[in-house]
Structure 1
Amino acid sequence: MDIGFVGVGVQGAPMVERILGAGFPTTVWARREASTRPFAGRARIAAGAAELGASCDVVGVCVWDDDDVREVVAGRDGLLDGVRPGTVIAVHSTTSPELCRELGAAALDRGCTVVDAPVSGGAERARLGTLVVMVGGDDESVARCRPVFETFGSTIVSTGPLGSGQTVKLINNALFAAQLSLAVDAFRLAEEAGIGKATLGECLSEGSGSSRALRFHAQRVLVEDGPFAPSPIFRKDVELCAGLPGFAGSALLAAARRPL
């Protein structure tokens, strides 16, 4: 099985390393040529997305946002301009569920399919092969992709129809953001009470109030000792949650937006 991968940045590059390490023949392409240089001699470097699509059975896409995914999949000289029938395109980027369904419909016209397969865990867990992969799509396409997903993911969950993987990922990200906002408050309250950051971090990290968000924030405040500054991707993912059914006006969305 020939594998393609579009987008080899902070998240995508270690995923490709795992795919290569498993022995899959792999072709990569990125809009920034410099991103593909570390793979020279180990993977085929495509000249564009359409060329990559013409030579691969499963193609992973790991770029920034909805517009970028739409461009590399369905834009001019995108994957769908070159893809061969039977190919499965796996969207690993965090996007709106609607986009994946839109691309799925366009792909069917070319005789191929789309699955949404966003990942959770970050670059370090990608390097370790322990990402969580949330996969939405038809059973046959998901099964075809599974051996590839198993190279970088230790938890692979079929979530339902196309778009459902993105829904689960966005709920996950909203919950993390909400927990992070509470962690920020917890450290503020401790400081006002005269309790040291290190003391609070040690207690909460092993206490019943612990969470991954709490441990993340504890490490950040103890090492960086600065105000929380959400990244653009953090903001992007939280705002995508606003489009999910039932999220508008929900306590979860309100809490998730607090650090923004």
Structure 2
Amino acid sequence: MNSQRTEPTDRVGFIGLGNMGAPMATKLASWSGGLTVCDARADVALPYLEQGADFAPTGAAVAERTTVISIAVVNDAQVRDVVTGQDGVLSTAKPGTVVAVHSTISDRTAEELATECASRDVEFVDAPITGGAGGAEHGRLAVMVGGSDIAYERVRAPFGCFADLIVHAGGVGAGTAMKLARNLLHFVAFTAATEAQRLAESAGLDITELGKVVRHSDAVTGGAGAIMLRENTSPIAEGDFWLPILSHVRDLGEKDLSLALDLGARLDVDLPLAELALARLGPGLGVGVSNVPESA
């Protein structure tokens, strides 16, 4: 492709000034090459204009003025329209332009759009983000980039305005796959939190106070991410550094899950995720189930 490494003098475009896009674009307002913003609501662009950015009414108009374009809209359909629609980015994008989609879309959509972009000598990256609006406001987002090495190198500098962790996950679609894996953990954990609340409530506890304890301890321990340090998920062999560490995690988890299930049974509270966790924790950690008898 005819791509070139991004220099600070290149102009960046940002399409979609919603809850996440707005603070991200605000961080890009300091980009030395300049910023062009675009949103269906022209009035939301006013704060960026006051900071020196300019406004473009369509994706096509953005692409006429910029060579790196970030897109943060709602879903696959909107992304497709912004990229390939009648007034979309590809209708005017110059060869060597990099189109980066921050929305969480299907990996198949990412691959299809990459093919269409390549036919115009345009680079495509799926670059979903995590960290929430607060992370965006403080420049603390994590970005998972799927795309070529060339495209990754080109987006690193502008992405650094709103993110303090930029990971090259692999080729197109890999960024999305990583985001989906991350969000699987996120929302399964949310569901587990509701189960924990039901148990605590049935035990007569203040679930607001429980929430305080959870947030406090997760901030100290790192939560579930604290165990995500291995290079693969294969069973752990004897003599491996991780075997005693994750066996200890399993033993503690099986003990505490068993105690929680016992409490739930006495309170007549169904805890299906806890039951699954008890059965799958050890195998998932790669250390198998505990050999300790249930009565121990």
What is residue 164 of structure 2 aligned with on the other side? 154
Please tell me whether residue 29 in structure 1 is matched to residue 29 in structure 2: no
What is residue 97 of structure 2 aligned with on the other side? 87
Q: 1:40 to 1:202 in 2, by over 3 A?
A: closer
Please tell me whether residue 119 in structure 1 is matched to residue 161 in structure 2: no
What is residue 8 of structure 1 aligned with on the other side? 17
* Structure 1 residue 55 displacement after superposition: 1.4
* Structure 1 residue 175 displacement after superposition: 1.0
What is residue 258 of structure 2 aligned with on the other side? none
- C-alpha distance in structure 2 between counterparts of 1:132 and 1:124, whole Å: 12
Deviations 1:134-160 (A, max 9, x none): 000000011011001111111110000
Please tell me whether residue 164 in structure 1 is matched to residue 191 in structure 2: no
After superposing the two structures, state which structure 1 stretch, 22-31 or 155-164, moved more.
Answer: 22-31
* Structure 1 residue 33 displacement after superposition: 1.8
Please tell me whether residue 189 in structure 1 is matched to residue 199 in structure 2: yes
What is residue 239 of structure 1 aligned with on the other side? none
Contact 1:205 1:211 in 2 (8 A): no
Q: Residue type matched to 1:21 in 2?
A: S
Matches of residues 53-132 of structure 1 in structure 2 within 5 Å?
53-132=63-142
- C-alpha distance in structure 1 between counterparts of 2:112 and 2:42, whole Å: 28
* Structure 1 residue 34 displacement after superposition: 2.5
Q: Residue type matched to 1:166 in 2?
A: T
Identity of aligned residues (%): 36
Q: Residue type matched to 1:61 in 2?
A: I
Q: Residue type matched to 1:114 in 2?
A: F
Q: 1:210 to 1:149 in 2, by over 3 A?
A: closer
Q: Residue type matched to 1:148 in 2?
A: P
Instruction: Tell me the TM-score normalised to structure 1 length.
Output: 0.78
- C-alpha distance in structure 2 between counterparts of 1:90 and 1:25, whole Å: 17
Query: Following TM superposition, where does structure 1 have runs of at least 4 consecutive aligned residues deviating by more than 6 angstroms?
Result: none
What is residue 203 of structure 1 aligned with on the other side? 213
Structure 2 residue ranges without an equivalent (≥5):
1-9, 226-279, 281-296
What is residue 220 of structure 1 aligned with on the other side? none
Contact 1:128 1:152 in 2 (8 A): yes
* Structure 1 residue 23 displacement after superposition: 2.8
* Structure 1 residue 210 displacement after superposition: 7.6
Contact 1:133 1:155 in 2 (8 A): yes
- The count of aligned residue pairs is 214
* Structure 1 residue 171 displacement after superposition: 1.2
Structure 1 residue ranges without an equivalent (≥5):
214-250, 252-260
Contact 2:40 2:57 in 1 (8 A): no
Flag the structure with larger Rg.
2
Instruction: Tell me the TM-score normalised to structure 2 length.
Output: 0.69
> Which residue of 40, 43, 50 maps to 2:49?
40
* Structure 1 residue 61 displacement after superposition: 0.3
1:67 aligned counterpart, secondary structure: helix
- C-alpha distance in structure 2 between counterparts of 1:211 and 1:186, whole Å: 15
* Structure 1 residue 207 displacement after superposition: 4.1
1:190 aligned counterpart, secondary structure: helix
CA RMSD of superposed structures (Å): 1.9
Q: Residue type matched to 2:71 in 1?
A: V
- C-alpha distance in structure 1 between counterparts of 2:164 and 2:222, whole Å: 23
